[in-house]
Amino acid sequence: MIPLLPAPSLGIDIGGSKTQAVLLDEQARIVADHVRPTEMGSDGVIATALAAARGCVQLAGIGFGDLRGVGVGIPGRVDHPTGVVHTAVNLGLGRLPLGERLGELIGVEVRVDNDVKATLLGVAHRLDAHDADLSYVNFGTGVAAATLAGGRLVRGSDNLAGEIGHIPVRPGVGRCACGQDGCIEVLAGGAQITRRLSRLTPAASLSTLMAAASDGHREAAAVADLAASGIADAVQLVVLAQGSDRVVIGGGVIQTAPELADLARQLLVGRARGSAFLASLDLPGRLVVAPPEQPLAAVGAALLVRC
């Protein structure tokens, strides 16, 4: 049975370009939805989140005083018990006590967590998999994962669990923003894929990558193969490390070039041909693409209020 939410619950997904708020009823159905462009810096992020929240409750014809819970998902390192964001480079944030500051403005306790963990909760809700062994891997600007183990969010020390983008898998392929060589994020993170594509002649973009590759552009095909191998590595890694039944993949890279998921699946099929062990795990069968056009992160943020 699906655990009920204290209703109405508001979820806010703060992203690098847009901030989305959704209002959920107790069955976690969306009853209002409002999107704003994200302003940078501490004051900008707070102002945007507040405006998105206000827009959402106004659409539903209620006030902040009617809210029973508010959750926020934000990229970066988040101390979830205190709601303090330590760093969120893409939003121009250093340390920000986001939960406290937004809570004072809204008048309700605000829970804050990393956006990938919030998205996983949204995915689990969408798949009706609350008690599952389920992972979500986000291929956005960077690469990160989140896992439910028997329905419990795996956090580890400092809420750090899931930073798999910084596991080096391919020495020599390029330097990562973290300082290491050949991280998964170097292969399959959006920033690195885009940088690699900008060097091609003619220059390609993520949205034209797969068309260029299938038109016989060998360098574009090599970029796609490298990205797909990073996706396959990430899926294999979370299954082996966490024992996840399903690994859902999403984020800007997958939304813009969904064929990369097919390519990654083919790579996993190929790896299983050479390994009876991998074949027994059925990695391709565990790979699921996140449903597009769903505000999974904002819905998941609202579900933080029952974590």
- Give Dmax (Cα) for the chain: 60
Q: Which is nearer to Zn ion, 9 or 114 (CB)?
A: 114
Shortest spacing between CB 31 and Zn ion, in angstroms: 40
Shortest spacing between CB 221 and Zn ion, in angstroms: 25
Shortest spacing between CB 168 and Zn ion, in angstroms: 7
The pair of three-digit structure tokens given for residue 8, joined into one six-digit string: 């109405």
Q: Which is nearer to Zn ion, 159 or 192 (CB)?
A: 192
Q: Which is nearer to Zn ion, 10 or 183 (CB)?
A: 183
Shortest spacing between CB 180 and Zn ion, in angstroms: 5
* Chain residues that interact with Zn ion, rule: CB under 5 A: 166, 176, 178, 180, 183
- Confirm if 88 and 265 have CB atoms less than 8 A apart: no
- Confirm if 12 and 301 have CB atoms less than 8 A apart: yes
Q: Which is nearer to Zn ion, 168 or 252 (CB)?
A: 168
Q: How many CB atoms lie within 10 A of CB 174?
A: 16
Strands 134-139 vs 246-250: parallel, antiparallel or unpaired: parallel
Using CB atoms within 10 Å of the CB of residue 198, give its burial: 0 to 12 exposed, 13 to 18 middle, 19+ buried: exposed
Shortest spacing between CB 9 and Zn ion, in angstroms: 35
- At residue 109, what are phi and psi to the nearest 5 degrees? -60, 135
Q: Which is nearer to Zn ion, 130 or 170 (CB)?
A: 170
- Confirm if 124 and 235 have CB atoms less than 8 A apart: no
CA distance from start to end of the chain: 16
